[in-house]
Chains A and B, each alone.
Chain A
Amino acid sequence: MSNSYVRTQMLPPQEAPIGERGAIKWLRDNLFSGPLNSLLTILGLLVVFYLVKLSLPWWLNSVWNANSLGECRDIVAAAGGESGACWAVIKARWHQYIFGFYPQDAYWRPVLAFGLMFVALAPVLYWNDRKGAIMVALTAALTVLSMVLLNTPGTVDLVAIVIMAALFAVAWLMPKKLIFVTLLYPFVAFFLLWGGPVWKGVATLLGFAVIVVVYRLLQSRLGVVVATAAGVVAAAVYWIVLQGYVTGALTAILPIGLPAVSSDQFGGFLLAFIIGVTAIACSLPLGVLLALGRRSDMLLIKTLSVGFIEFVRGVPLITLLFTASLLLQYFLPPQTNFDLILRVIILVTLFSAAYLAEVIRGGLAALPRGQYEAADALGLDYWQAQRLIIMPQALKISIPGIVSTFIGLFKDTTLVSFVGLLDPLRGVTQIVRADINWKGIYWEPYIFVGVIFFLICFGMSRYSMYLERKLKTDHR
């Protein structure tokens, strides 16, 4: 006989009550946890329902093939819809939105420059070499594909394939060498975009060679500082006095180059990218210098930095752009006439450099004093300490601020339309809406431009989050 009331086996676990599992639990926890929450949920549902009811037919009745807005409306009406999106306008004008009035047969040049940009960015954005190589391969494939789709001449395609294959080989075998591509990229991009004889860029590059040669010659005798200064002065003399002759001589000997494209033909997202990328690349070092200047012990440097930062942050960007287009003619020697895009890039760079300086100053202030003192104790001089100890940490702290300044800068490139440049948002859309065929269209072009801006800016902010996670070294 045994004590039968003592159970020898575990009972199978009972299922949770219906209200505590599955979708019902989720609904109760997340949507209807209390009277207020239920009310909010219902309100939210109403908003979503209303928006969908308003816009869904419009999206569903989209028309992709038409020659004018009237035709679009006829097609929608024939299909029995009340309203419909007319994406045909984007199909008809996409090239203006992307390239502005850039010559049609030269579209491969901006595309190639854009592709090479990602190759040049690979060593900056990824320090994992394999990832960098994969990115180069992906970029190469996409670039060549879009060049072929844009009806580029076959020889050019072939050259592009060879260049991209070579770059991929470099990225795969010697990833560290890819940094030279980054350094050369500005000249290559300038040459590709604006065209003209190839020797202009080469002759400019020679100036940097002058710096290196002078530095090497003088460094052992005069020391680092004097040698660098002498190198810079020599290069400046070369650039101002000699470069024109060198370019002229080289062009006369071997006239190779691309057809020149003038600045007023640039427009659309091409222009936004040129201004945005150049200004981002130039404003970061300038912002670091300004931030250091603001924290400097030297009274004069500090005053100048503070004055510059506060002035630029106190006025709207538009006034600075108008300065670029209206006032610069007063401040420069008579009869100088330099490119409007370049002027705008300079002003936008100065503008975002002031904001970056404040962001980086915050990062510098957040560093514990011990870091500075440790650097001093190790006997590092000012620049060594900045380069090895302070800046890596300060920049890491300020990544979110830096990236949001960059995003702001990229969004602000739309303001250049006020000084007569053809930005994608206002400039191109104005031209499209002035066309008799597309008069009265408004949602479609703005949605198109807005979505592209959204993708780029959202991508940048996601990248900054990735970077933050990647660089996080504190205890988790």
Chain B
Amino acid sequence: MALASEAPKESFRLSMLIYDTRYRSMTIQVVVLILVLLFVGWLADNTIQNLAAKDKDINFGFLWNRAGYDIEQQLIPYTNDSTHGRAAIIGLLNTLVVAFFGCVFATIIGVFVGVLRLSNNWLVSRLMTVYVEAFRNVPLLLWIILVFVVMSETRPQPRDFRVTDEMIASGTEPAAKMWFWDSVAVTNRGTDLPAPVLDRGLGSIDIGSVPVNLSVLLTLAVIVASVLANRALLRRARAIQEETGERPVTWWKSLAILFLPTIALLMALGFHLDYPVFKGFNFQGGISVMHSFTALVIALSLYTGAFIAEIVRAGIMAISRGQSEAAFALGLRPGRTMSLIILPQALRVIIPPLISQYLNLTKNTSLGIAVSYLDLRGTLGGITLNQTGRELECMLLMMLTYLIISLIISSLMNVFNSSVKLKER
């Protein structure tokens, strides 16, 4: 009986590095690694040479030097004596504020338009299609600039709002009027809105040179507490319903729990609105919002809203008709079908692309440069960069910050996504 012969011993040949699949991937990776290292080394060498030629070094010390420029919109105290680092933080906060309002409004617009585009009302669905196509196919930059230019060139000057005694006596109207019962004034300089003011505020404490308003903190705490209490109420109602089959009436209790504590707290703190009033040459009191901010928020939310509308529409259409038919067969009303059957399933389809739209919106806030909005790019990557001449450090910090914001948003939304995702076992 012949023994099975052993497999012939293959001697290693050099060509096996390329033609043998066992070694090929190693070869490729080694070659790529060498090339990448060479490339990085080349870049680093060039950078060192160029820095030496320009007599520069890499040093982040400039962040602690005096900035010397003013920023109009500031959420935490800042003067031109503050440091470049603080200016960068102001810019970051400005970026985040625009991104926040943009995301909120874009979501509201997107959901409305997306649902209305599916409506069987011919006129409304056509109008919504026109809106979506118009905004998706024209550059965002155009909308930002157009809104800004229209606001700052068509609106009257502040002095046109002046009402003198002679005008009252003769009964002539001023050239321009405020809107919403004399509470909002849109001039060519900015928008003046009523400001919320507390007579008996709790003051503020400084945490690391950032003042934290205690009244706001307390109000937020009360709101969170009432939402939690409302949840407890609803949970109890459900427990009773499951036990006895009858659901206790909760709507007025819910309303009371949600709103009464906050209203009571605000009354206790002496809450009222401070209206902008025309005095001298400009409006005094209230909050003045710059047109660059308004234009950015309007353009970003309309533009992103068009994309979100398409996402919402696609999400609702992705749910098969059988689902709503089954819900109707169970005897659910259309509203409950939407909230209990369609939306929870549609959300699963909607959320991942929605996340990337939020990310896009956040990144697109950097277009504020077109209307001189001082966001992160305007402060750290703009004035600070030009003043100190430290391009490498500023760009590096700026890119890192954007990268971190993106990663945070996407991970937060991924957590949310995994909580609504279909639980598969």
Interface residues of A (CB under 8 A from B): 29-31, 33, 37, 40-41, 43-45, 47-48, 223, 225-226, 297-301, 304, 311, 313-319, 322-323, 326-327, 329-334, 407, 411-412, 414-415, 418, 425-426, 440, 442-443, 446, 449-450, 453-454, 457-458, 461
Complex CA distance for A199 and B19, rounded to whole angstroms: 40
Complex CA distance for A230 and B379, rounded to whole angstroms: 50
Contact call A331/B369, Cβ cutoff below 8 A = no
Contact call B29/A300, Cβ cutoff below 8 A = yes
Chain B residue with the shortest CB-CB distance to A41: B123
Chain A residues positioned under 8 Å from B139 (CB to CB): 411-412, 414, 425, 453
Contact call A450/B399, Cβ cutoff below 8 A = no
Known: A299-B29, A322-B381, A414-B142. A31 touches B123 (CB 8 A): yes
Instruction: With both chains docked as a complex, state the minimum distance between the C-beta of A209 and any C-beta of chain B, in angstroms.
Output: 25
Q: Is the interface of B mostly helix, strand, loop or mixed?
A: helix
In which size bucket is the chain B interface?
A: 35 or more
Instruction: With both chains docked as a complex, state the minimum distance between the C-beta of B113 and any C-beta of chain A, in angstroms.
Output: 13
Q: Say yes or no: is B63 at the interface (Cβ < 8 Å to chain A).
A: no
Known: A315-B363, A319-B395, A330-B51. A31 touches B137 (CB 8 A): no
Interface centre among A47, A331, A440 (most CB of B within 10 A): A331
Instruction: With both chains docked as a complex, state the minimum distance between the C-beta of B1 and any C-beta of chain A, in angstroms.
Output: 35
When each residue 373-400 of chain B gets 1 if its CB lies under 8 Å from chain A and 0 otherwise, what string results?
A: 0000100010001000001100100110
Please, could you name 24 A-B residue pairs with CB atoms under 8 Å apart, sorted by A?
Answer: A30-B121, A41-B121, A44-B124, A223-B15, A300-B33, A301-B32, A314-B402, A315-B363, A315-B399, A315-B406, A316-B366, A319-B366, A319-B398, A322-B381, A326-B391, A327-B392, A330-B50, A331-B50, A332-B46, A334-B50, A414-B139, A414-B141, A426-B145, A457-B138
Residue A334 contacts which of B46, B140, B146 (CB distance < 8 angstroms)?
B46
Contact call A37/B119, Cβ cutoff below 8 A = yes
Q: Which 5 A-B pairs have the closest CB atoms?
A: A457-B137, A30-B122, A316-B363, A314-B406, A314-B403
Chain B residues positioned under 8 Å from A333 (CB to CB): 46, 49
Chain B residues positioned under 8 Å from A225 (CB to CB): 18-19
Chain A residues positioned under 8 Å from B18 (CB to CB): 223, 225-226
Known: A31-B121, A44-B124, A300-B32. A322 touches B46 (CB 8 A): no
Chain A residues positioned under 8 Å from B363 (CB to CB): 315-317
Q: Which residues 123-176 of B have a CB within 8 angstroms of A?
A: 123-124, 127, 133-134, 136-142, 145-146, 149-150, 153
Complex CA distance for A43 and B124, rounded to whole angstroms: 9
Known: A330-B46, A407-B137. A41 touches B124 (CB 8 A): yes
Complex CA distance for A33 and B123, rounded to whole angstroms: 12
Complex CA distance for A316 and B300, rounded to whole angstroms: 14
Chain B residues positioned under 8 Å from A319 (CB to CB): 366, 377, 381, 395, 398-399, 402
Complex CA distance for A327 and B46, rounded to whole angstroms: 12
Contact call A298/B28, Cβ cutoff below 8 A = yes
Contact call B366/A454, Cβ cutoff below 8 A = no
Instruction: With both chains docked as a complex, state the minimum distance between the C-beta of A117 and any C-beta of chain B, in angstroms.
Output: 21
Chain B residues positioned under 8 Å from A327 (CB to CB): 391-392, 395
Chain B residues positioned under 8 Å from A223 (CB to CB): 15, 18-19
Contact call B381/A313, Cβ cutoff below 8 A = no
Instruction: With both chains docked as a complex, state the minimum distance between the C-beta of B148 and any C-beta of chain A, in angstroms.
Output: 10
Residue B53 contacts which of A40, A301, A304, A334 (CB distance < 8 angstroms)?
A334
Q: Say yes or no: is B104 at the interface (Cβ < 8 Å to chain A).
A: no
Chain A residues positioned under 8 Å from B141 (CB to CB): 414-415, 425-426
Q: Say yes or no: is B317 at the interface (Cβ < 8 Å to chain A).
A: no
Chain A residues positioned under 8 Å from B50 (CB to CB): 329-331, 334
Interface centre among A29, A44, A223, A334 (most CB of B within 10 A): A44
Interface centre among B136, B150, B364, B377 (most CB of A within 10 A): B136
Chain B residue with the shortest CB-CB distance to A319: B399
Contact call A318/B369, Cβ cutoff below 8 A = yes
Instruction: With both chains docked as a complex, state the minimum distance between the C-beta of B12 and any C-beta of chain A, in angstroms.
Output: 17
Residue A442 contacts which of B153, B367, B403 (CB distance < 8 angstroms)?
B153
Complex CA distance for A298 and B336, rounded to whole angstroms: 50
Chain B residues positioned under 8 Å from A454 (CB to CB): 133-134, 137-138
